[in-house]
Structure formats: C-alpha cells, structure tokens
Chains A and B, each alone.
Chain A
Amino acid sequence: MLEKASFYPGQDSKEEIVLFIHRHWFSYVRWVFTILLMAIMPIGIILIMYYQGSWEGIFYYSVSSKYFIITFLSAYYLFTIAFFFTTWVEWYLDVTIVTKGHLINIHQDELFSRKVAEQSLLRVQDVSSKINGFFESIFHFGTVFVETAGEQPNFKMINIPNPTVVASTILKLHEELVESFNDEERFDEGAGVDSVEPTKKTNKENNRSKLLYTADLQFIPQKKSKPQPENKVIVIQNPNIHAEKDVKQNQIPQVVKVTESQKIEKENILRTNIDNTKPNNNQKTIIIQKTKIIDKEKAKGDLEEGKVIKF
C-alpha cells in the first residue's frame, strides 16, 4: 500500500519528481461516448414504445411487470455508473512519473489489476516519440518509447500528451545523471558486483547511492572523508622556502611545535596530525581546535584564523 506522501512504491521521499503525466483526455473520449449511449438507450427505447402506443400495454400488463421494469432500470443505471467509475479509474490511474533518477510507468489494467514498472534513467539507451494519426496530430498526444539496456523490458507509454517534450526531457535527465556520475564517481573496470560494499552515506548522497545500486553495480562510489570540524589551521613555514606556496589538501600536516610565546592552552588542542614520513620537511602545520588564548595582547596577531606564522 502506498503512503499518502508517495507516488509509487519504493519512492525516496527526497527524490524530486520532474514529470507526472496522466494519459491524454482524448483517450477517454471513446468511453464517454459508450457511457452516454448506455445512459440514453433505455430512455430512447421507452420513448419509442411510448409513441408507438405499446408502452402502456407492457407497463400495465401485470403488477409484477411494473416492479420488474423499475428494478431493471435501476440495476441497469447502477451498472452504467459502476462501468463509468471503473473505466475512469483505469484511465486516470494510468500514469507515468519521471524523477531525477527514475522512470516509473504505472499501468492500471482493470480496477483491481495494477502494474508498476520502474527503471533507472541510467539504463536508458534511446528515447523516441511517435505521433500518428489525425487526432494525435491535432491534440498533440502520442506514444513515447524508451529503450533500456540489458534484459530490462522497454517502456512504451501510450497516449502521452506532448510526447516530443516528454522524450527530450527524459533524455536530458539521463544525460545529466550520467554527467553527474562521471564527475563524482570513479569507474573501476575490474570491480565486480561482489566488490561493492555499501557504505554509510550522508543524506545528500542517499538518492545517488540508491540509484547506484539499482542501476549499475559497476560504479563504485568514491569514499569521501568526513568533513573536519571547525578547525583553525596555522601553517608554519620556513622563510627560506617560498612562502607563497599553498598547502594542498592531501598534504598531511607535519611536525608540530607551539612556542610558549603563543600562550596556547595545550589541553584544548584536540587533534593534531603528525606525519614524519612526508619528504617535505620545510612546512610545519598544526591543526588546532577550540584554541583558547590566555594572553590576548601577546598573542594578538599570532593566532588569527588562517594566519601564516613564519619563523
């Protein structure tokens, strides 16, 4: 059962819906005509019989015939209403949903028969639209075909309004998704399914991760280091070396020495990374969290955030 806030089973609450497409209204017109015909037909028969003079003969033929005619007409119109309701539900709940990462086609066969097909946009290979016929050309609706990779079934969405726009939107979303993976993910050709280990991800990565595992297991998410807490970084450089050289992010901080003149409470130094294995001994870096300066006057100018201290 769907939750009220979701549009299809398994929907991620943060997944943005780009297109929500009902079938074109013209595809329901034939049912409207059928139902109108069903509704008018008994009235027409009664009117014809009335003007021919045979109606009173039937209606007053016996007492039970009155009951029969009324209950029959009542049952007939209730059946017509139920028929209208069923066809409307079949038409209205036949929808296509396009999200940032998925394509969902919900097909309502009958009132109690429902089929939901979901596919990742990463698997989309080709999208085409088709407008065929007089009415489709006039009212701008048609069929959209989505070919997918692998053994997954292709999507055929009929009676879609503005099929050209829908097809181009799906293609555009597919390209954006592929580009985002190319930018942020590392493709490892040698990796198989077994080598993919789900890792804890931030909320921001959840959608992408879900797509990743359902779409193509050959992509391995690049493990990102946890963001550092608010640290103050003091870079101590040897003045003999060029002072303008920036410290890259992947350079691990090295030997740490804090002189007494800086008046820093050592208990508040929570984290320092020291690595003597790095060949560059000319740079000395300290990462200090929540530094507390005792003598502000003396330390003023020495421990400002981002300040480069030379000695």
Chain B
Amino acid sequence: MILLVILAYIFFLIAFVLYSYWGINHISTYGYIGDSTHTMKIIYIVVSSIVILTTVVLLITMSMGII
C-alpha cells in the first residue's frame, strides 16, 4: 500500500515537472523584457521545490520511524 502511494506520487511529480517545464518555457517565449514573468518563474520554482523537498524529507523520516 505504501509503495502504491509513493508510486502514484512519483507519477504525479513527473506530470507536474513536465507541465511546469513547458509552462516556464512558454512564458520565457512570450514574456517581455523587464516584465514580471522572470520574478514569477523564480517564485514558482522556489515554492514548488520547497513543497517537494519537504514531502521527501517527511517521507524519509517516517520510513525511518522518527515520526
């Protein structure tokens, strides 16, 4: 059951990364020089990375029995 949950999460992460990649690529193409798209890209990448890293850390600590 745990493996199934983690496998589903990994599939979701792959879809999320692909979508994000094409989305960022899209606004890099159609964004304008000096506008807010660059800031938005940084915010998006940073927040998404924090969420993913936190999840991974929590899963690892749970598997080690700390939580």
Complex-state Cα separation, A82 to B18, whole angstroms? 11
Q: Is the interface of A mostly helix, strand, loop or mixed?
A: helix
User: A82 with B19: in contact, given A67-B2, A68-B5, A75-B12 (CB under 8 Å)?
Assistant: yes
- Which B residues between 1 and 24 are near A, CB-CB below 8 angstroms? 1-2, 5-6, 8-9, 12-13, 16, 19-20, 22-23
B59 touches A2 (CB 8 A): no
Nearest A residue to B31 via CB reads: A93
Instruction: Note all chain B residues with C-beta closer than 8 A to A5.
Output: 33
Nearest A residue to B37 via CB reads: A92
Instruction: Note all chain A residues with C-beta closer than 8 A to B67.
Output: 66
Instruction: Note all chain B residues with C-beta closer than 8 A to A70.
Output: 55, 58-59, 62
A64 touches B1 (CB 8 A): yes
B51 touches A77 (CB 8 A): yes
Q: Is A89 close to B, CB under 8 A?
A: yes
B59 touches A67 (CB 8 A): yes
What band does the interface of chain A fall in when counting residues whose beta carbon is under 8 Å from B?
A: 20 to 34
Instruction: Note all chain A residues with C-beta closer than 8 A to B13.
Output: 78
**Top-7 shortest CB links A-B:** A74-B55, A64-B1, A71-B9, A67-B5, A75-B12, A64-B2, A85-B44
B interface list, Cβ under 8 A from A: 1-2, 5-6, 8-9, 12-13, 16, 19-20, 22-23, 26-27, 29-33, 35-37, 40, 44, 47-48, 51-52, 54-55, 58-59, 62, 67
A interface list, Cβ under 8 A from B: 1-2, 4-5, 7, 62-64, 66-68, 70-71, 74-75, 77-79, 81-82, 85-86, 88-89, 92-93, 108, 111-112, 114
The contact sample of 21 A-B pairs, CB cut-off 8 A, is A5-B33, A64-B2, A66-B62, A67-B5, A67-B59, A70-B55, A70-B62, A71-B6, A71-B9, A74-B9, A78-B13, A78-B48, A78-B52, A82-B19, A82-B23, A85-B23, A89-B37, A93-B31, A93-B37, A111-B22, A114-B30
In addition to A70-B58, A82-B23, A92-B36, 17 A-B residue pairs with Cβ atoms within 8 Å of each other are: A4-B33, A63-B2, A64-B2, A66-B62, A70-B59, A71-B8, A77-B51, A78-B13, A78-B16, A81-B47, A82-B16, A89-B23, A89-B26, A89-B37, A93-B30, A111-B22, A112-B26
